[in-house]
Every structure is written in structure tokens, then in C-alpha cells.
Amino acid sequence: MRIGKFLYFGDFVVIPIAVLLLAAAAYVAGGLAAVPEFGLSLLFGAGLWTLVEYLVHRYAYHHAPILTPLHDAHHQAPLAFVGVPSFLSSGLILAVCYLPLRGATPVFAGGFASGMMLGYAAYMFVHHATHHFNIQPGDWLYEARLRHMTHHYREGVNYGVSTGFWDRVFGTLAARRERAADA
Ligand SMILES: [Zn+2]
Ligand SMILES: [Zn+2]
């Protein structure tokens, strides 16, 4: 859906604050001993995010009722501010990844949810950059830009935005076309 700048960029403010609060809560719960567990849980969450990103984009945004027309709006107007409203997405991650686990494993829950939110923020950043930044051959985001522009041109390929890893695993990685980067 089309949203204002506040809802489009809000996660870049909310997520760092949420991660700091979750880290503080983990420290209160477990002291310094919680640091390695929090860090590993964060890495796990960030890694798992890349798979969630692939699956949500491939199956929910491209094949689910209600969501597909909303995502089509982005495919038709790639430069418009179209997306899931900020506080909805980070709130959803907290509701699914943090709240159910908080009672049993508070440090893991905080690290895991932090990793998922940071992964989501990275995805948002990379996606915005592929469309709006002036990315040239050799720039670190050039691969991501080529990959995502190909997704906009061809059906059924390159669902991963922050990484092409899962497209490779599931056989949906499209060969890069230099021409696609001119879009
Ligand atoms: Zn798409
Ligand atoms: Zn796009």
C-alpha cells in the first residue's frame, strides 16, 4: 500500500531503539553472561530473516489474496513509497518472535527478535537503495540492484532482496543481465 514518509521510514528509528531496549532487558535478566547468548541469538534471527524475507516475498506478496494487489502496486510504481507501514512490521516481529518466547528464554527472545528486526531493516534499506540510489558497477549494492531489477522485469525469479542465497537454494535465481541495471 502507498504510505507516507513517516510510515515508510519509521522503522529505521523504531528498530534501533527496540534493539537497544531488548539488549538492556537481556542485560537486566542475565547480566554480562547474557551477552554471548544475545549475540548468537541475534545472528540466528538475522540469518533466519533472510529465509522469511524470501518466503514472504515469493508466496505472500506474489500469491496471497489481499497482499498480492498491494505488492503489485510496488511493481507498477517502483519509486512510490509503497510498503508495510513501519510500526505494523516491527510490531508484528515483536509479537511473533519476542512475546511468545519471553517467559521461557528472555535473553534468546530478545536477541532473536532483534536479529529479525535488524534483518528486516537491512532488507528495507537494500530494497529502497536498489530503486532510489545511484548505484554504479563496482558499488557494493550493484549485485543487489541487478538482482532486484531483474525481479521487476521477469516473472518468478529473484525473490531475495538482501541476498540471492535462497534463490540459489530454491532454483529461482535468474542470470544477471547488465541491461537490467539501467532501469
Ligand atoms: Zn515482487
Ligand atoms: Zn522493488
In the structure grid, which three cell numbers stand for residue 159, read together?
A: 525473490
Which ligand gives the minimal distance to the CA of 147? 2
Q: How many domains does the structure of the chain reveal?
A: 1
Residue 50, number of CB atoms within 10 A of its CB:
19
Question: What's the 43 CA to ligand 2 centre distance in angstroms?
Answer: 25
pLDDT tens string 101-133: 999 999 999 999 999 999 999 999 999 999 999
Question: What's the 151 CA to ligand 1 centre distance in angstroms?
Answer: 7
Helices (H), ranges, the chain: 5-9, 11-30, 34-55, 62-63, 67-76, 86-93, 99-102, 106-132, 142-153, 165-170
Tell me if 177 is assigned to some domain. Answer: no
Question: What's the 148 CA to ligand 1 centre distance in angstroms?
Answer: 9
Q: At what angle do helices 11-30 and 106-132 cross, to 10 degrees?
A: 160
Residue 123, number of CB atoms within 10 A of its CB:
20
Tell me if 52 is assigned to some domain. Answer: yes
What domain range is 125 assigned to? 5-133
Tell me if 53 is assigned to some domain. Answer: yes
Tell me if 13 is assigned to some domain. Answer: yes
pLDDT tens string 66-104: 889 989 999 999 999 888 888 898 999 999 999 999 999
pTM: 0.91
Question: What's the 19 CA to ligand 1 centre distance in angstroms?
Answer: 28
Question: What's the 98 CA to ligand 2 centre distance in angstroms?
Answer: 28
Question: What's the 75 CA to ligand 2 centre distance in angstroms?
Answer: 6
Tell me if 141 is assigned to some domain. Answer: no
Tell me if 175 is assigned to some domain. Answer: no
Tell me if 166 is assigned to some domain. Answer: no
In the structure grid, which three cell numbers stand for residue 84, read together?
A: 508495510
